[in-house]
């Protein structure tokens, strides 16, 4: 009956997380019947700012689009500009970019695994994943000087090499995670209560993932073998022969639920370790940039005239940058950035429909959005008004987990 | 999916279309040629072109980018056709110029529902009108934001930037 449908706005502000967003859920009892999604609260006009700055400054800006994807955006931007301006990248630099991109994928997927565990109420698992994530962050700090915002890609190459003394540290990191991966896979994928909370929850059918143009692990969990590294080769990903990972690699038919999204991300950690290892072996000696002097680079870019597209598979999916340069103008005439969550936004709608309120946190987190703004839940009813905080929503989620662990069914 | 397949699908959809190949060498050990397909179409050619691409293989829209050229607004539809096989996906960019005085474009959402977010973004930022789009709600700008920031010399955006400069004392 229509008078039993409530509207629950969730968000937009959560001080602890990067990207605020507002969901307005239509609920009937415990069941979600529809959702309206409104992003834009973190829109900073970065593209507009970029079109007022020279390309070196744009590179710095691109690195600050996202703290977690802080290598994906500069890699994509440099690919687009190199295409527009006709700049070659030395082979060693191409391998180095891939190594950093895969290190980012390892830390990003581990971050997600921790968030997912927390949303389900398994804080021990959160602490385990985030503790082990420190290893890759320490390595990134050793290699680049920073835990995030590595300032590695530059037009024509990269800014820092991996020295022979650093190689054993990278190898040690690979060994460390290989030793842990089975334990993590066990903890997430062979745990009956994780399975009970994630199987059949937040399902995205393959037809929906295809028509809504979902990207990254969100699309792959639904069984689409859609991975930019495989489909549209760039850098040395073609040489490395990357294959899109779907739950089939884990011996399961894809169902497109939260469990499958965990399968894909955890297996991709192992895939990234393999790629880093191969890059270390295959990477040739040589120059790391074709423009060692920044003023020469800026002068060259000022003369460049053309347009270019760059693409990259970030941890969350496809990143695209389009750039248009005009001779004599330092600023790009057009700079368009597309991040993966932009493509996955619409996939949330079918994932939420007919699910329970207690599943909102894990479904929202399942696409690994650059946000999760559950601090303010506001229940609105024509006759009465009640406020529910984020803590209450988390409590509902955890109570459901506990109920399931004790053998009870869903409420 | 090969570049030739994509090109013949496009010319089937829009006969007489001029298509530009943009090849580049990719890879170090075993370099391969990755070719992008670029074509300029008219408003009436957009839906047949997208339908032809969709019929030729799995279709993905990456983004619609655009710019204000003064009298005209240029829209670039960046598609990728044929995901799922190694090296089998082709980037296709359709360039569409519409007069600034009548920026109306047919929506492609009926063919590809995933295009809705990026079409709605173009309504906000460039003032494009999409006929047949399911929703025209704002995605990124505040509800009721009066201007279109990527239009040249948009007075509302200039006001906003001026206020920011006054508050922050920096260049925007």
The radius of gyration computed from the CA coordinates of chain B, to the nearest angstrom, equals 19
Quick: pLDDT tens for A30-41.
899 998 888 888
Phi, psi torsion values for B44, nearest 5 degrees:
-70, -20
What gap in Å lies between CA A38 and CA A46, rounded to an integer? 19
Whether residues B26 and A43 touch (CB distance < 8 A) is answered with no
Please state whether beta strands A31-38 and A153-154 pair in parallel, antiparallel, or not at all (unpaired).
Answer: unpaired
B110, closest residue in chain A (CA to CA): A211
A238: helix, strand or coil: helix
Which residues of chain A neighbour B114 with C-beta distances below 8 Å?
211-214, 343, 346
What are the 10-residue block averages of pLDDT along chain B, 172 residues in total?
93 93 93 95 95 94 94 96 93 96 95 94 94 91 87 87 78 54
Q: CA-CA distance, A358 to A27, in Å (whole number)?
A: 12
Contact between A232 and B89 using a beta-carbon 8 Å cutoff: yes
Nearest partner of A284 among A239, A323, A250, A225, judged by Cα: A239
Q: Which helix (H) or strand (E) holds A33?
A: strand A31-38
User: Is a pLDDT exceeding 70 seen at residue A380?
Assistant: no
CA distance B44 to chain A (A): 23
Do B26 and A233 count as a contact with CB atoms less than 8 A apart? yes
Q: H or E segment at A363?
A: helix A360-366
The separation between CA A162 and the C-alpha centre of its own chain, rounded to angstroms, equals 25
B25, containing H or E segment: strand B19-26
Report H helices in A235-339: 237-240, 258-282, 294-303
- Cite the DSSP H helix spans in A11-51: 46-50
Rg (CA), chain A: 22
Interchain CB distance below 8 Å, A322 and B78: yes
Q: Supply the pLDDT for residue A374.
A: 23
Choose, out of B2, B30, B53, B60, the residue to mutate when testing the contact with A (most A CBs < 10 Å): B60
Provide mean pLDDT across the span A308-327: 95
What pLDDT sits at residue A388? 58
Please judge whether B141 and A43 are an interchain contact, meaning their C-beta atoms are less than 8 angstroms apart.
yes
Lowest mean pLDDT among A110-119, A173-182, A310-319, A396-405: A396-405
Please give the structure tokens belonging to residue B12.
């089937």
- pLDDT, mean over chain A: 88
Segments making up each domain of chain B, as ranges: 3-140, 147-172
pLDDT tens-place string over residues A201-225: 999 999 999 999 999 999 999 999 9
Chain A nearest-CA residue for B57: A210
What's the confidence (pLDDT) of residue A381? 39
Find where tokens 């994780």 sit. A194
Q: Which positions in chain B touch A42 (Cβ < 8 Å)?
A: none
Residues of B within 8 A of A350 (CB-CB) are: none
Is the pLDDT score of A378 beyond 60? Answer: no
Token pair for A216: 């990254």
Q: What is the pTM of this model?
A: 0.91
Distance between CA A287 and CA A92 in Å, rounded? 7
The CA distance from A69 to the nearest CA of chain B, in Å, is 18
pLDDT surpassing 90 at residue A386? no
What is the pLDDT at residue A22?
A: 83
CA distance A269 to B23: 32
Determine what percent of chain B falls in helix, strand and coil, rounding each to the nearest 5: 30, 30, 40
pLDDT at A73: 94
Q: Which residues have C-beta within 8 Å of that of residue B54, sequence separation ≥ 6?
A: B111, B112
Question: pLDDT tens digits for A59-114?
Answer: 999 998 888 888 999 999 999 999 999 999 999 999 999 999 999 999 999 999 99
A-B C-beta contacts closer than 8 Å: 131
> Nearest by CB to B27, which of A38, A233, A318?
A233
> Smallest Cβ distance to A231: which of B88, B139, B150?
B88
Contact present, B84 and A231 (Cβ < 8 Å): yes
- Those residues whose C-beta lies under 8 Å from the C-beta of residue A328, and which sit 6 or more positions away, are A302, A303
Contact (Cβ atoms closer than 8 angstroms) between residue B94 and residue B108: no
β pairing state of B129-131 and B104-106: parallel
- What is the edge-to-edge ordering of all strands in the sheet holding A317-325? A306-314, A317-325, A334-338
Block residue for tokens 């089975």: A182
Q: Which two tokens stand for residue B90?
A: 């082709």
pLDDT score for B158: 87
| DSSP-based three-state secondary structure for A264 | helix
Question: Tokens 């079109």 identify what position?
Answer: A51
The answer, yes or no, to whether the previous bond of A12 is cis (omega within 30 of 0) is yes
Q: Which is more confident, A411 or A318?
A: A318
ipTM above 0.85, yes or no: yes
Residues of A in contact with B87 (CB under 8 A): 230-233, 238
pLDDT in tens, A262-294: 999 999 999 999 999 999 999 999 999 999 999
Q: What is the pLDDT of residue B171?
A: 57
The number of CA neighbours under 13 Å toward the Cβ of A173 is 28
| Residue A3, pLDDT above cutoff 90 | no
Split at pLDDT 50, 70, 90, the class of A13 is: low
Quick check: A102 and A188 in contact, CB under 8 A? no
For residue A379, pLDDT beyond 50: no
Predicted confidence at residue B107, as pLDDT, reads 96
Tell if the CB–CB gap between B27 and A236 is shorter than 8 Å: yes
Pick the residue of B27, B120, B150 with the most A CBs within 10 A to test the interface with A by mutation: B27
Query: What distance in Å separates the CA atoms of residue A40 and residue A44, rounded to the nearest whole number?
Result: 9
CA distance A19 to A13: 8
Residue A371 has pLDDT above 70, yes or no: no
Cβ–Cβ gap B84/A226 under 8 Å: yes
Using the structure block, give the residue that is written with the tokens 């670039």. Answer: B76
DSSP string, B39-88: EEE-HHHHHHHHHHHHHHS-EEEEEEEEEE-SSEEEEEEEEEE-TTSTT-
CATH superfamily assigned to domain B3-140: NADH:ubiquinone oxidoreductase Nqo5 subunit (3.30.460.80)
- Per-residue pLDDT, averaged over A131-142, amounts to 95
Is the pLDDT at A233 greater than 70? The verdict is yes
CA proximity to A32, closest of A2, A3, A7, A1: A7
Instruction: Say which residues have a Cβ less than 8 Å from residue A230's Cβ, sequence separation at least 6.
Output: A237, A242, A243, A244, B85, B86, B87
Residues from chain A that touch B150, judged by Cβ atoms under 8 A, are: 48
Domain with residues A54-343, CATH architecture:
Orthogonal Bundle (1.10)
pLDDT confidence of residue A226: 94
Contact partners, residue A186, CB within 8 Å, separation at least 6: none
A336·B63 Cβ contact <8 A: yes
More confident residue, A394 or A343: A343
Q: For residue A235, how far is the Cα from the chain centroid?
A: 20
Helix (H) or strand (E) holding B7: helix B3-13
Closest chain B C-alpha to A149 CA, distance in angstroms: 22
CB spacing of A309 vs B91 below 8 angstroms = yes
- Contact criterion met (CB below 8 Å) for B125 and B149: yes
Residue A159 has pLDDT above 60, yes or no: yes
Q: How far apart are CA A246 and CA A260, in angstroms?
A: 8
């Amino acid at each position: 009956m229509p008078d039993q449908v409530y509207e629950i706005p969730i968000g937009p502000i959560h001080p602890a997380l990067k990207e605020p967003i507002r969901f307005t859920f239509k609920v009937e009892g415990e069941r979600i019947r529809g959702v309206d999604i409104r992003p834009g609260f973190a829109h900073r006009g970065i593209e507009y700012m970029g079109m007022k700055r020279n390309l070196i400054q744009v590179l710095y800006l691109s690195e600050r689009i996202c703290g977690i994807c802080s290598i994906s955006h500069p890699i994509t931007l440099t690919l687009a500009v190199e295409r527009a301006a006709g700049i070659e990248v030395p082979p060693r630099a191409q391998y180095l970019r891939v190594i950093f991109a895969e290190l980012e994928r390892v830390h990003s997927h581990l971050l997600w695994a921790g968030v997912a565990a927390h949303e389900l109420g398994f804080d021990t698992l959160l602490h385990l994943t985030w503790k082990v994530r420190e290893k890759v962050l320490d390595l990134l700090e050793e290699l680049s000087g920073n835990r995030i915002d590595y300032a590695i890609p530059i037009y024509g190459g990269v800014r820092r090499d991996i020295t022979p003394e650093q190689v054993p540290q990278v190898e040690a990191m690979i060994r460390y995670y290989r030793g842990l991966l089975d334990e993590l896979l066990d903890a997430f994928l062979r745990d009956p209560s994780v399975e009970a909370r994630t199987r059949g929850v937040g399902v995205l059918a393959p037809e929906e993932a295809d028509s809504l143009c979902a990207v990254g692990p969100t699309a792959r969990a639904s069984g689409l073998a859609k991975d930019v590294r495989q489909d549209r080769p760039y850098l040395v990903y073609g040489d490395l022969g990357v294959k899109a990972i779907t739950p089939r690699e884990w011996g399961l038919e894809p169902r497109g639920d939260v469990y499958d999204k965990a399968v894909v991300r955890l297996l991709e950690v192992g895939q990234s370790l393999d790629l880093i290892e191969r890059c270390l072996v295959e990477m040739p000696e040589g120059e790391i940039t074709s423009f060692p002097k920044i003023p020469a680079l800026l002068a060259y870019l000022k003369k460049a005239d053309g347009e270019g597209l760059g693409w990259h598979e970030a941890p969350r999916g496809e990143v695209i940058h389009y750039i248009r340069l005009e001779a004599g103008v330092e600023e790009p005439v057009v700079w368009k950035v597309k991040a993966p969550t932009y493509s996955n936004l619409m996939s949330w709608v079918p994932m939420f429909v007919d699910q329970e309120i207690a599943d909102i946190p894990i479904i929202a987190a399942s696409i690994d959005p650059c946000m999760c703004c559950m601090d303010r839940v506001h229940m609105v009813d024509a006759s009465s008004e009640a406020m529910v905080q984020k803590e209450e929503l988390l409590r509902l989620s955890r109570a459901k987990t506990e109920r399931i662990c004790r053998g009870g069914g869903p409420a | 999916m090969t570049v030739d397949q994509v090109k013949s699908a496009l010319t089937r959809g829009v006969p007489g279309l001029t298509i530009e190949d943009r090849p580049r060498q990719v890879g170090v050990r075993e370099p391969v040629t990755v070719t992008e397909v670029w074509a300029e179409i008219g408003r009436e050619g957009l839906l047949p072109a997208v339908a032809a691409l969709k019929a030729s293989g799995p279709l993905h829209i990456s983004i619609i980018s655009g710019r204000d050229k003064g009298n005209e607004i240029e829209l670039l539809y960046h598609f990728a056709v044929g995901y799922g096989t190694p090296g089998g996906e082709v980037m296709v960019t359709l360039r569409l110029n519409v007069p600034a005085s009548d920026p109306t474009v047919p929506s492609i959402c009926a063919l590809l529902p995933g295009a809705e977010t990026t079409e709605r973004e173009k309504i906000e930022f460039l003032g494009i009108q999409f006929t047949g789009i399911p929703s025209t709600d704002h995605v990124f700008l505040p509800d009721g934001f009066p201007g279109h920031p990527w239009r040249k010399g948009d007075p509302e955006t200039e006001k906003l930037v001026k206020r920011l400069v006054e508050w922050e004392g920096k260049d925007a």
